[in-house]
Structure 1
Amino acid sequence: MTDNKTWTERSRLLWGDERIDELSKAHVLLVGLGGVGGMTAELLVRGGIGRLTIVDADTIQPSNINRQLVATHSHIGEPKAQVLATRLLDINPQLQLEVIQDFLKDENMVELLDRHAYDFVVDAIDSLSPKVYLIALCKQRGLAIVSSMGAGAKSDPTQIHQSDLSKSYNCALARSLRKRLRKLGITRGVPVVFSSELPDEEAVIEIQGEQCKRSTAGTISYMPALFGCQLAAYVLRHLTLTPKQGA
């Protein structure tokens, strides 16, 4: 088996032993393993995160193949979380990985957040209600969190930003999230990844029969992946930045 210092050699060359060893001790909770979350998970593990809890209840569908990391024809019908878990452990066999194949609701979300002392939480949920609740619970507990806004109906990678939710614009999901969180007394202090590109309105359709979702949007292969890159970068940098470098 390849040891940790061998496969992280290039990361150590960039960031040094101390920072990479720090990441190997960090525990990240990642909720949502679609096009955004799946890429986030892989880059966190390749970046050296040593402990990861991943949460997703969905199975792989043909419509996922255009953008989701684990979506291939050979895995259709299989749980996303389990397929991704196999891939992550192949990247780092020493990874401490907890897999939760469940749709988070109020009661089990509280239990999940109180189960461990997470160093960071990543919200890659694409449904509004559980997204609001996860962020609110993290804020109540003082847990560091970064949240993904909508990557659908957009295609310009140059308009993806990291910002506070209060400064996001041209994103319907962010707008709804701000409104719901404002009612809970949360107006700032929620870092997000969002796109300022105006959405293609013809790429959004109404749907029925899905939990917490009223519409779905067309997507292109690279946009969710780039959102995942931004989320992973935010977590890795903020877990290793020293006071001199800023938070």
Structure 2
Amino acid sequence: MPDAFSRMEMLLGDTGADKLSRARIAVFGLGGTGSFTAEALARCGVASLALVDNGTVSVTDINRQLYALRSTVGRSNVQIAKMRIRDIDEGILVHTYETFYNAETAGMFDLKNYDYIIDTMNTVESKVLLIENAKACGVPVISCMDLEDKLDPSRLEIMDISRSKMCPMAKRIRAELRRKGIRRVKVLCSRERTADVQTHGSISFVPGTAGMLLAGMVVRELLGKSGSISRIKYRKIR
């Protein structure tokens, strides 16, 4: 019987597949973006995934979240994620944390245990704290900025936070990080202009695309193949 990852091995070779099979990755936030990120990484056969989210599925998640179905409303995001990952590859070690990452809970996590940290949380304070702690540990981190009201997935881009122009969340985080002396952070932003509205909406294919882009970036970096990003000329945060 063919191995579940045989087609990936054809693409990456034995060395590349072996690197991924030893990768330990943490995903903070399992909403519309993070749910797709975690599953894409599981389908790459990584060694372990730490999943951090205190949410449960609601009816309003169905339009954009991988785990959200009529049959899963009310269930824990991390538990659904764990079930799906085990069904993909029971060899992946899945650590679940049904908690909100903040100053009170940050001590639960030894970030040095991870090869890469992915942030798809919604709260500025939590995002800044995670980035700060990851940087202090010397662990690579990538953070997804606000994707509400976005309709064009082709405008998504991975960049240094100093290059973000259209995202108010990135502007706030950039200012907070500057005060902490942090100058370089890899983020996923949208360059799409949106109207200034009081209510905010979302659609399936933008956070889903973002999740796949994040997973792809992390995998390429772990394999040493992130050439386009490594050529970015970082600028100081203004």
Same fold (TM over 0.5): yes
Does the 8 Å contact 1:154/1:200 carry over to 2? no
Partner residue, 2:177:
181
Q: d(CA) in 1 for partners of 2:4 and 2:24?
A: 20
Trace 1:152-167 onto structure 2 (pairs within 5 A). Answer: 152-167=148-163
SS at match of 1:194: strand
Q: Give how far 1:87 is off.
A: 0.6
Matched-pair contact (CA < 8 Å) for 1:53–1:100: yes
- 1:6 is paired with a residue whose SS is coil
Q: Show the counterpart of 1:10.
A: 7
Deviations 1:59-107 (A, max 9, x none): 1111100000000011111111101110111011111110111111213
In structure 2, what is the Cα distance between the partners aligned to 1:172 and 1:246? 23
1:143 aligns with 2:139: yes
Query: In structure 1, what is the equivalent of residue 205 of structure 2?
Result: 222
- Matched residue, 2:52: 55
CA distance in 2, matches of 1:168, 1:28: 25
Say which SS state the counterpart of residue 49 (structure 2) adopts: strand
Residue among 180, 184, 192 paired with 1:197? 192
SS at match of 1:67: coil
Where 1:98 maps in the other structure, the secondary structure is strand
**Aligned pairs for 1:95-174 within 5 A:** 95-114=92-111, 117-174=113-170
Q: Which residue of 1 aligns with 2:218?
A: 235
Write the deviation string for residues 103-155 of structure 1: whole angstroms up to 9, x where unpaired. 112132133135x5210000011111101100011111111001101111111
Tell me the amino acid that sits aligned with residue 146 of structure 2.
Answer: G
Q: Which amino acid aligns with 2:67?
A: V
- The Cα of 1:199 is off from its aligned counterpart by 2.1
SS of residue matched to 1:52: strand
User: Gaps spanning 5+ residues in structure 2: where?
Assistant: 231-238
Provide TM-score, normalisation by structure 1.
0.88
Displacement of 1:200 in angstroms is 3.0
- Deviation by residue 1:207-233 (Cα, 9 ceiling, x = unmatched): xxxxxxxxxx20011000011011001
Normalization by structure 2: what TM-score?
0.92
The 1:152/1:15 distance shift into structure 2, 3 A limit, reads same
Judge conservation of contact 2:102–2:125 (CA < 8 Å) in 1: no
CA contact (8 A) 2:35 2:81 kept: yes
